[in-house]
Structure 1
Amino acid sequence: MTARPTRHVAIDLGASSGRVALGTVQNGKLEVEVLHRFPNGGVPVGGGLQWDILGLWREVLYGLKLAGQRGEVASVGVNSWAVDYGLLDAHGDLLGGVHHYRSPRLDGVMERVRAELGDDAISGATGIQFLPFNTLYQLAAERPERLAGADLLLLVPDLLHFWLCGSRVTERTNASTTQLYDPRTGDWAWALVDTARIPRTLLPRIVEPGTDLGTLRPQVAAETGLTGTRVIAPATHDTASAVAAVPATDDTGWAYISSGTWSLVGVEVLKPVLTDAARALNLTNEAGIDGTTRLLKNVMGLWIVQECRRAWNADFAGLYADAATLPASGSVIDPDDVRFLAPGTDMPERVQAACRESGQTVPQSPPEIVRCVLDSLAHRIADVLDGLQDVTGIPIDTLYVVGGGSQGDLLNQLTADATGRTVIAGPVEATLIGNLLVQAQAGGHLGGLRLRDVVRASSDLQTFMPASGHARATRAATRQTGRGVTP
């Protein structure tokens, strides 16, 4: 007998674009249709950088209206990038805008806070990688008068859930990215919160992925035509949703890359890893679905190539095709060097400067620069995987690459060669899939199947084997010091 299909809507907000997608679950498979795509990005404001959060909300409502035209929708949920937030006043109104994590307002703030509070107090309490845009440092950069007028802090997906249904909570996977969350207690790191002089009342109650947050507000239902639709929190951190959609068949022996603007390289473990070795590697412990922990490291990812492409006004496909015809560059940069963090059309010159300063051959043409960056990413990923394997003591044989970056055959092959591991690429729409399936699972619509069983049944995957004799033989060059964001 054919099961009755159920429909769910995923709202996926990324750093450069957003999507509203309709997912249909039937007979153990998921079909995904993107109904609406829209651009996103930082907006320069008064010397800083902010998100156009109201513009994003307008696009979300339009996407939901398109979903409402398709018929009954069981649930909707939002995921987004991490660490950024909105502040609400006592009436629930947004105070000012939502600052962008690449805003220059954060320059030097992490260093100041670390000097004041001490690394032991911060890392020991949270187990989170030191990154200059973590929520802890963003709050330290706030104007005192804005904080004084704030009643509640909501991370970006939680803010949209509030506008959708009135919920005033934060979902665990995104809360765990803030460097204000204690992975041992599953609550806010209250001692650190107090030491950092952050009002406790700002931080909302933490809920699990799959929590039913309520029905759409009447005005949202009227605007979109969605009647009786529930709002269910997925894994609201986009990486957590993507990792939920990793098509792994085993519980251990594999790692993942959520590949896009950032490359989030990690393993899934049953409990946080808070050892000195993990701290020395500046690894991060973030919450996953079903009580798991994502032990990972943020690597700069395709951001450098994206900014180079913007500087050249060039086509991604053409750049990749030309770079694939070149031999290995022989020059490698540290993609986590802080010089690459800020946006700018001078990104190609930054890559060249890094090579020049380290005494390496300087790439000249756009394809040469792209090949240098991709070689560097592959070698950096290999180093991170080796560190994860050392820290956990679990051999890693297979690397799953999910997300938009999984479409880059050249980078996938370079990664297989540099790591000496099998690379399995796909699904491309991992974040949407993870979001939709967590909603469906929460509503009891998977028919007893495990979430990853549905992912495999619904996905086309591609396998890349390391070239013979290539395994991890040429990686010493990536161990340069650089001016990275890690200490």
Structure 2
Amino acid sequence: MNKVLAIDMGATSIRGILGYVENGDLKIEEVMRLSHEIIEKDDRRYWQWDKMIDTIVDTINQQTDLTSVACDTWGVDFGILNSDGELIDTPVSYRDSLHTSGFNKVKEQIDLFELYQLTGNQIMSINSLFQYMALKMHDIEKYEEIDTILMTPDLINYLLTGNKYSEMTIASTSQMFDLKNRCWRIDLLDKLNLKSDVFAPIINNGEYVGSTKDTLLPNLTNKDLKVYSIASHDTASAVSVTRAFFDPDCLFLSSGTWSLIGGLTDEPVLSEEAFASDLTNETGFQGQNMFFKNITGLYLFEKLRDELAVRDGKRMTHKEADGMTVEAKPFSYFMNIAEYDLDNLSVIDSIREYIAKTNQTQPQTTGELLRGIYESLVFGYMKTVKDIERISGHNFKRVQIIGGGSKIGFLNQMIADGLNKEVVAGPDEASAIGNIVGQLLALGEWDSIEDAYNAVAKSFEYRTFTPQNPDLWQERYAVIESLLT
């Protein structure tokens, strides 16, 4: 029996999950969960890198009878290595505010629609290209020392095996990748006067990277494991085990810290309409193109909960917050979340400022504050789906919700009503399951991704939500639509 370990890394926590097939069912077991934070040092924002790597090493060492290990992570972030193969600096978080200066510098040198046509990515200041430019602008000594840039999961694979590769799904989040030809955009980097010879060769997902017998991590004692690339961008990994991967009438919604909502297309969509709608293209599992939008997600709800704890001197449990949200008056306010960098601002103050600016009525209760965040997310989903359907010329019938948000039944019903589509919710650990499936496919456990999907579908619980009050949501959408531009 092949037993594999998925290291599934999110922007607020990482998990270690074992996976294997028993009597035709996919079994998973969580063996590690670590919360992590962004650390501010010298006016920069860094990941708790050593803490994460030490935990990954400990987790691997504690397992027996493992066949392989693989890692998936959030997108856009990377590490920089010198000519000796050593990290020059702790990896910086995409939430570092200096990246905006990199974005502004790039914007002076290239038209943003041209950049979109070259890379297909939604233009966001967090993207790797702008991080790279900011690094050159603000720390030229470290920039000059760079010999290799590796995206986060590729960096972990390098530490595990000593081999440097760039897996294509994570590379496709960088704004430096050619989605059609699946190679680095050397022409773009040269035009921007950025080093273009520092990127590792592109490999497909499902490829063998190396063995832990060649690890660079001295404390790793479990040294006979295969390491696979899988779909190492967590979104690509998650989407690979959804119905959207096979059903052209199904959208996906990865609901977590970020919300990523969209569908699959045969080719990247690089039109001016798609650019104007802030839609992105990224490479998915087995080369499928994912056409979707990144929207701030449940991070905002949790940040609001944190602020309310400070204000009220008591932190609500999730159950208490959900209860207040359900009982609150609907549609008390709407906020266009995209207008604010709420990572660096107070959510409560920003809500009240936006409401005053748009002549709405201020929420009267904590429940109304909380519910308005959920409703604002759903209205953002509604606009995005309308944009995707208009640009693609295809109307979708259902959406599958994956990630932590798939467990929030009240929110899932809102989404079914707002989109007026059937919602299938689950699995919540989709990224880790996709990671496990990628490894087991590489090891020959199934003959095809279809066989793997069928095993996943019968192994985990799903909930279905059908529209109950779509007209109310459409009426409210018509009122606030002008604010969604």
TM range (shorter): over 0.9
Q: In the alignment, what sits opposite 1:117? A: 110
Residues 12-411 of structure 1 mapped to structure 2, 5 A cutoff: 12-67=8-63, 71-142=64-135, 143-218=139-214, 223-248=219-244, 250-311=246-307, 312=309, 313-340=315-342, 342-343=343-344, 346-411=346-411
Distance 1:182 1:480 in 2: 35
Q: How far off is 1:81 after superposition?
A: 0.7
Partner of 2:417: 417
Residue-by-residue CA offset, 1:296-327 (whole Å, 9 max, x unaligned): 10011111111111222332221112111123
Q: State the alpha-carbon separation in 2 of the partners of residues 185 and 222 from structure 1.
A: 38
* Separation (CA, whole Å) in 2 of partners of 1:205 and 1:396: 37
Contact 2:332 2:363 in 1 (8 A): no
Query: Alignment RMSD, CA only?
Result: 1.9
- Matched ranges for 1:416-435 at <5 A: 416-435=416-435
| Shift in Å, 1:294 | 0.5
The one-letter code matched in structure 1 to 2:210 is: G
Instruction: Give 3-state SS (helix, strand or coil) of 2:3's partner.
Output: strand
Structure 1 ranges of 4+ moved more than 6 A:
none
Whether the 8 Å contact between 1:277 and 1:391 is mirrored in structure 2 is yes
Query: Structure 1 length normalisation: TM-score?
Result: 0.93
SS of residue paired to 2:98:
helix
Q: Distance in 2 between matches of 1:291 and 1:211?
A: 13
CA distance in 1 between counterparts of 2:80 and 2:130 reads 15
Deviation at 1:120, TM superposition (A): 3.3
The residue type paired with residue 97 of structure 1 is T
Secondary structure (helix, strand or coil) at the match of 2:197 reads helix
Q: Is the Cα contact below 8 Å between 2:205 and 2:231 reproduced in 1?
A: yes
Rounded to whole Å, the distance in 2 between the matches of 1:257 and 1:119 is 27
Asked if the contact 1:72/1:226 (under 8 Å) is kept, the reply is no
More displaced, 113-122 or 432-441?
Answer: 113-122
Q: Distance in 2 between matches of 1:91 and 1:452?
A: 42
Give the CA deviation at 1:6: 1.5
8 Å Cα contact 1:89-1:149 kept in structure 2 = yes
What is the distance in 2 between the residues matched to 1:403 and 1:221? 31
CA shift for structure 1 position 338: 2.7
Distance 2:149 2:479 in 1: 43
Residues 225, 26 of structure 1: alpha-carbon distance in 2 compared, 3 angstrom cutoff: farther
Mapped contact 1:83–1:101 kept (Cα < 8 A): yes
In the alignment, is the contact (CA less than 8 A) between 1:265 and 1:296 conserved in 2? yes
CA distance in 1, matches of 2:43, 2:227: 36
Aligned to 2:312: none
1:476 to 2:472 alignment: no
Residue 186 (structure 1) shift = 1.0
Helix, strand or coil at the partner of 2:125: coil
Alignment-mate amino acid for residue 106 of structure 2: V
Give the letter aligned to residue 468 of structure 2: A
- Output the TM-score relative to the length of structure 2: 0.94
Structure 1 residues 85 and 383, CA gap change in structure 2 (3 angstroms): same
- CA drift of 1:438 comes to 0.6
Moved more, 442-451 or 151-160: 442-451
